Structure 1
Amino acid sequence: MAKVSPLMILPVAVFASFVGLAVVGMYRDDPDSLPSAREGQQAPPVVLTQFADKPLFDDATLRDGDVKLVNYWASWCAPCRVEHPSLSALAEAGIKIYGVNYKDQLQNAEGFLKELGDPYAAIGRDEQGRMALDWGVYGVPETYVVDGEGKIILRFAGPVTQRVIESTLGPAIEKARSQ
């Protein structure tokens, strides 16, 4: 009988490990979601600067008793343009959306809203991205569902579409309303 060298087993073991990781990855609930350490916690402080002549929101706004969305966006962000009609539809349906303009030039951001419309109940600028860092933002767009007490119920990374509203944001909004 031939002697089996440990070096002969190594490629088989490595391959088996990759197969195991692939199988585990296929059975995750949502392979596209990014984890959020903030879900279930109070929203971090709101530290924003004025956005032109638009109303500014603050910490008290997040704890006003109403369910709301906090949406990080920028004029230079193509997916933000894609999600804008969906945000407008949510605002028309009565969902309060608070905008955080992320690392953007004011003139460009104003042009973006002038062209596409303004779905935001209030808006502020995060010019250096410090507030986004505290919130755990990976990149724009990102949208947070916040309950009436200021607790983050859900973080959604990526553009809000009708499908996302139906499958993800809508249920999170209902959960926040029922708490």
Structure 2
Amino acid sequence: MLRLSYLAPLLAFMGLTAGLAFSLSNDPRRMPSTLIDKPTPSFNMASLDGKDAGFSNTDLKGGVILLNVFASWCPGCRVEHPMLLKLAETSGIPIYGLNWKDTRSDGSRWLARHGSPYIRVGSDEPGRVGIDFGVTGVPETFVIDRTGRIRFRYPGPLTEEVWRDEFEPLLKALRSES
């Protein structure tokens, strides 16, 4: 006969294993943003370089734009950066940047070394603005419509395929809206 003291650790282990298996099966790309079709959160932050005017949610109105969340320490951001540079030159979509949980000096140095695809970049060193946007990690890219509403969130590096399959159809539809 098993004593309860032997059974409790076994049950705890089984519960922990089930929880871990469930969490590993969740793909953050399938996690919908609760902010879709809602206005961008209010924010006002310093620019990354400290020289330009600050960056706020009012900058994200008036046209269809991309907001890209990145950091100098992010490997996925390095993967997507050439794509962002290409989009800045060829897509006609303004790209704004949010340097998330990174020091201003590291973020500025990284953009100086690799080039900046951004119209304006805000420094979110404490990560508060990213939290308000529901950022789960970097990189993440948001599509924001003319009225300042978040229309799409893509977690992960942008690639040619992602751009073609996910972004282009949505951007075409948003551009045709009056």
TM over 0.5: yes
Deviations 1:145-172 (A, max 9, x none): 0011101110000001111110111122
Q: 8 Å contact 1:72–1:142 — kept in the other structure?
A: yes
Which moved further from structure 2: 30-39 or 84-93?
30-39
1:76 to 1:31, Cα distance in 2 relative to 1, 3 A: closer
Give the superposed CA RMSD: 1.8
- The answer for the alignment partner of 1:169 in structure 2 is 167
Other-structure match for 2:35: 38
SS of corresponding position for 1:75: coil
Residue 47 (structure 1) shift: 2.9
- TM-aligned CA deviation for residue 31 of structure 1: 8.7
Q: Report the AA paired with residue 33 of structure 1.
A: R
Q: Which residue of 1 aligns with 2:122?
A: 124
Q: Distance in 1 between matches of 2:53 and 2:46?
A: 11
Helix, strand or coil at the partner of 2:161: helix
For 1:88 and 1:154, locate their aligned partners in 2 and report how far apart those are by CA, in whole Å: 20
Alignment partner, residue 79 of structure 2: 82
Which residue pairs with 1:14 in the alignment? none
CA distance in 2, matches of 1:79, 1:134: 22
Alignment of 1:8-157 (within 5 A): 32-52=29-49, 53-64=51-62, 66-93=63-90, 94-157=92-155
1:89-118 Cα distance to aligned partner (Å, 9 max, x none): 111122100100001122211121112100
Q: TM-score, normalised by structure 2?
A: 0.78
Q: Any idea what the Cα deviations from partners look like across 1:60-101, whole Å, max 9, x if unmatched?
A: 22122x110001100000000100011111111221001000
The letter of the residue matching 2:141 is T
Aligned partners of 2:128, 2:28: CA distance in 1, in Å?
A: 28
Which stretch of the first structure deviates more once superposed, 85-94 or 169-178?
169-178
State the one-letter code of the partner of 1:86: M
List runs of 5+ in structure 2 lacking aligned partners.
1-24
Query: For residues 21-75 of structure 1, what are the alpha-carbon distances to aligned partners after superposition, in whole Å with 9 as ceiling and x for unaligned?
Result: xxxx9xxxx99422111111111113322211245332222122x1100011000
Structure having the higher Rg: 1
CA distance in structure 2 between the aligned counterparts of 1:129 and 1:107, rounded to whole angstroms: 16
